């Protein structure tokens, strides 16, 4: 792993995330979103709060703008994507109202990926995926597979999540929060080595915090390893 970046309400810098991982920092207002002044105004107004979080972390992890910025493959991942826009469209359908073409075009799962490509002038391949409770790990596996078989040197994973709409709240994870995490992955010799493998824990077990936040505690803290329960497998993240 070459570097990482993350955003949550009140947590932006590595120091803030480190304090949070050690229990001396906390997230603030859950309904806030990062400022994305680097995105042109006409495009910025199309971004949902989820997409703002995804693009904010992607830009910082990629090192944009800059001569050495990552311009390679990206994998954008989210368990539910633009679910808030989707449920608004479903409500409109239920009331017999016409759908907004603009709202529909921004409700798809590759919304953040497409907007990032436009804003950053990104022409490299990009994948958008969702895999429920295993989303972050599946995105990393997708990136590692691309690195192995494409000959590319780096790939960036961007994971974003937020609380579900009220209608779906009974199925939400405990402590759901809006946050995003970006990981720039490369060859082991090019940065600190990490290993992701199937863990020994029981899959399907309820997590104590939202998907991805446990991994952020590992990245920003001093622990060497973490086992995360997923839907079909448990996953072990290990700092080598």
Tens-place pLDDT, residues 207-232 = 778 888 999 999 999 999 998 888 88
Measured CA to CA in angstroms, residue 120 lies from 74, 77, 115, 149, 200 at distances of 12, 18, 8, 25, 40
**Is the entire prediction scored with pTM above 0.85?**
yes
**For tokens 């839907």, what's the residue?**
231
User: Phi and psi dihedrals of 21, rounded to 5?
Assistant: -65, -30
User: Phi and psi dihedrals of 63, rounded to 5?
Assistant: 80, 30
pLDDT of residue 201: 67
Tens-place pLDDT, residues 76-122 = 999 999 999 999 999 999 999 998 888 899 999 999 999 999 999 99
pLDDT of residue 208: 76
pLDDT of residue 93: 93
What CATH code would you report for 3-191? 3.40.47.10
pLDDT of residue 188: 65
| Phi-psi group of 132: left, alpha or beta (phi > 0 → left; psi -120 to 50 → alpha; rest → beta) | left
**Hey, what are 5's tokens?**
């970046």
Tens-place pLDDT, residues 59-79 = 999 999 888 899 999 999 999
Alpha-carbon span 136 to 167, nearest angstrom: 24
Mean pLDDT across the chain: 90
Q: Among 6, 36, 35, which residue's Cα sits nearest to residue 21?
A: 6
Measured CA to CA in angstroms, residue 29 lies from 11, 19, 226 at distances of 11, 17, 27
**Hey, what are 9's tokens?**
């309400």
Q: Among 57, 108, 101, which residue's Cα sits nearest to residue 80?
A: 108
3-state DSSP call for residue 194?
A: strand
Average pLDDT over residues 31-53: 92
Alpha-carbon span 169 to 173, nearest angstrom: 8
Residues in the chain: 240
pLDDT of residue 189: 64
Q: Are 8 and 162 in contact (CB under 8 A)?
A: no
Tell me the pLDDT band of 163, cut-offs 50, 70 and 90. very high
Q: Where are the domains of the chain?
A: 3-191
Which has more confidence, 204 or 7?
Answer: 7
Which has more confidence, 198 or 127?
Answer: 127
Measured CA to CA in angstroms, residue 130 lies from 33, 136, 139, 155, 219 at distances of 22, 9, 8, 18, 22
């Amino acid at each position: 792993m070459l570097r990482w970046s993350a955003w949550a309400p009140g947590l932006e810098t590595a120091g803030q995330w480190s304090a949070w991982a050690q229990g001396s920092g906390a997230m603030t207002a859950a309904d806030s979103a990062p400022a994305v002044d680097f995105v042109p105004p006409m495009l910025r107004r199309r971004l949902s709060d989820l997409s703002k979080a995804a693009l904010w972390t992607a830009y910082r992890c990629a090192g944009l703008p800059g001569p050495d910025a990552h311009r390679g493959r990206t994998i954008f991942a989210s368990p539910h994507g633009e679910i808030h826009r989707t449920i608004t469209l479903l409500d409109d359908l239920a009331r017999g109202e016409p759908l907004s073409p603009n709202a529909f075009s921004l409700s798809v799962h590759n919304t953040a990926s497409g907007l990032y490509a436009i804003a950053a002038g990104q022409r490299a391949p990009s994948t958008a995926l969702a895999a429920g409770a295993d989303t972050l790990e599946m995105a990393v596996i997708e990136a590692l597979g691309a690195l192995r078989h494409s000959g590319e040197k780096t790939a960036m994973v961007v994971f974003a999540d937020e609380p579900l709409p009220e209608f779906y709240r009974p199925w939400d994870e405990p402590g759901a929060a809006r946050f995003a995490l970006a990981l720039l992955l490369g060859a082991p010799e090019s940065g600190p080595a990490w290993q992701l493998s199937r863990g020994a824990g029981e899959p399907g077990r309820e997590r104590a915090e939202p998907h991805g936040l446990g991994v952020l505690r590992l990245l920003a803290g001093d622990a060497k390893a973490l086992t995360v329960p997923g839907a079909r497998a448990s996953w072990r993240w290990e700092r080598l």
